[in-house]
Structure 1
Amino acid sequence: MYQVKTFNAIAKSGLEIFTDDFQINQTDNPDAYLIRSVNLLNQNLPQNLKAIVRAGAGVNNVPLKQATKKGIAVFNTPGSNANAVKELVISLMIATTRNLFSANEYSIAHAQADISQRTEKDKTKFNGSELAAKKLAVIGLGHVGSLVANAAMQLGMKVIGFDPYLSTNGAWRIDNKVRRVDSIKKAVQNADFVTVHVPKNDATIDLIGTKEIDEMKENVILFNYSRLGIINNKAVVKALRHQKISHYCTDFGEPLIAGNSSITITPHIGGSTIEAESNGATQGAKTVMDYLESGDTKHCVNLPNLEVPFETEFRITVIHQNIPNMVGQISTQIANKKINIENMSNAAKGEIAYTIVDVDNLKTNDIDELKNALESVTEVYRVRIIKHQ
Structure 2
Amino acid sequence: MYKYACLNPIASVGLNRFTVDYVKTEDVNEAEGILVRSASMHEMDFSDNLLCVARAGAGVNNIPLDECAKKGIVVFNTPGANANAVKELVFAGMLLAERDIIGGVQWVKDNANDENIAKSAEKAKKAFAGGEIQDKKLGVIGLGAIGVRVANAAKHMGMEVYGYDPYISVAAAWSLSRDIKHVTNIDEIYEKCDIITIHVPLLDSTKGTISKDAINKMKEGVIILNFARDLLVDEQAVLAGIKSGKIKKYVSDFANTITAGQEGCIVMPHLGASTEEAEDNCAKMAVDEVRNYLENGNIINSVNFPNCDMGVCNTEGRIAILHANQANMIAKFSSIFGELGINISDFTNKSKGNYAYTLADADSPITEEIAKKLTEIDGVIRVRVVK
> Structure 1 length as normaliser, TM-score?
0.97
Give the match's secondary structure for 2:192: coil
Report what 1:140 is aligned to: 142
Q: Please report how far the alpha carbon of residue 133 of structure 1 lies from its aligned counterpart in structure 2 after TM superposition.
A: 0.5
| Aligned-partner Cα distance in 2 for 1:261–1:210 | 18
Does residue 212 of structure 1 match 2:249?
no
1:238-281 alpha-carbon deviations (Å, 9 max, x no partner): 11111111110111122121221310111111000000000000
Does residue 33 of structure 1 match 2:45?
no
| Aligned-partner Cα distance in 2 for 1:27–1:259 | 41
Does residue 58 of structure 1 match 2:59?
yes
Q: Please report how far the alpha carbon of residue 362 of structure 1 lies from its aligned counterpart in structure 2 after TM superposition.
A: 2.6
2:255 pairs with 240, 253, 269, which one?
253
Does residue 375 of structure 1 match 2:375?
yes
Give the match's secondary structure for 2:232: coil
1:33-55 alpha-carbon deviations (Å, 9 max, x no partner): 01111100111111110100001
| Aligned-partner Cα distance in 2 for 1:320–1:304 | 11
Does residue 353 of structure 1 match 2:338?
no
Report what 1:127 is aligned to: 129
Q: Please report how far the alpha carbon of residue 127 of structure 1 lies from its aligned counterpart in structure 2 after TM superposition.
A: 1.2
Query: Which letter does structure 2 place at the counterpart of 1:298?
Result: I
| Aligned-partner Cα distance in 2 for 1:145–1:77 | 15
Does residue 19 of structure 1 match 2:22?
no
Report what 1:84 is aligned to: 85
1:224 pairs with 216, 223, 226, which one?
226
- Are the equivalent residues in 2 in contact too, given 1:3–1:26 (CA < 8 A)? no
Does residue 313 of structure 1 match 2:316?
yes
Give the match's secondary structure for 1:302: coil
How big is the alpha-carbon RMSD for the aligned residues of Structure 1 and Structure 2?
1.1
1:142-170 alpha-carbon deviations (Å, 9 max, x no partner): 00111111111111111100001101111
Q: Please report how far the alpha carbon of residue 26 of structure 1 lies from its aligned counterpart in structure 2 after TM superposition.
A: 5.3
Structure 1 unaligned segments of length 5 or more: list them: none
Query: Which letter does structure 2 place at the counterpart of 1:101?
Result: I
| Aligned-partner Cα distance in 1 for 2:101–2:8 | 34
Give the match's secondary structure for 1:71: coil
Give the match's secondary structure for 1:307: coil
| Aligned-partner Cα distance in 2 for 1:276–1:368 | 41
1:77-133 alpha-carbon deviations (Å, 9 max, x no partner): 000111000000101111221210001111111122212432111211111111110
1:9-57 alpha-carbon deviations (Å, 9 max, x no partner): 1000000000111111254221110111110011111111010000100
Aligned length: 384
Q: Please report how far the alpha carbon of residue 68 of structure 1 lies from its aligned counterpart in structure 2 after TM superposition.
A: 0.4
Give the match's secondary structure for 1:256: coil
- Are the equivalent residues in 2 in contact too, given 1:318–1:384 (CA < 8 A)? yes
Structure 2 unaligned segments of length 5 or more: list them: none
1:330-387 alpha-carbon deviations (Å, 9 max, x no partner): 1111221111111111111111111111102236xxx111111111112100101111
Identity of aligned residues (%): 39
| Aligned-partner Cα distance in 1 for 2:171–2:118 | 55
| Aligned-partner Cα distance in 1 for 2:26–2:39 | 19
Superposition map of 1:174-253 within 5 A: 174-253=176-255
- Are the equivalent residues in 2 in contact too, given 1:97–1:130 (CA < 8 A)? yes
Query: Which letter does structure 2 place at the counterpart of 1:313?
Result: E
- Are the equivalent residues in 2 in contact too, given 1:56–1:80 (CA < 8 A)? yes
1:162-206 alpha-carbon deviations (Å, 9 max, x no partner): 001101111111111110101211122221110000011111111
1:266-301 alpha-carbon deviations (Å, 9 max, x no partner): 111100000000000001000000011111111011
- Are the equivalent residues in 2 in contact too, given 1:209–1:235 (CA < 8 A)? yes
Give the match's secondary structure for 1:147: helix
Report what 2:103 is aligned to: 102
Superposition map of 1:238-387 within 5 A: 238-309=240-311, 310-362=313-365, 367-387=367-387
| Aligned-partner Cα distance in 1 for 2:26–2:9 | 16
| Aligned-partner Cα distance in 1 for 2:97–2:258 | 21
> Structure 2 length as normaliser, TM-score?
0.97
- Are the equivalent residues in 2 in contact too, given 1:103–1:126 (CA < 8 A)? yes
| Aligned-partner Cα distance in 2 for 1:107–1:101 | 10
- Are the equivalent residues in 2 in contact too, given 1:222–1:247 (CA < 8 A)? yes
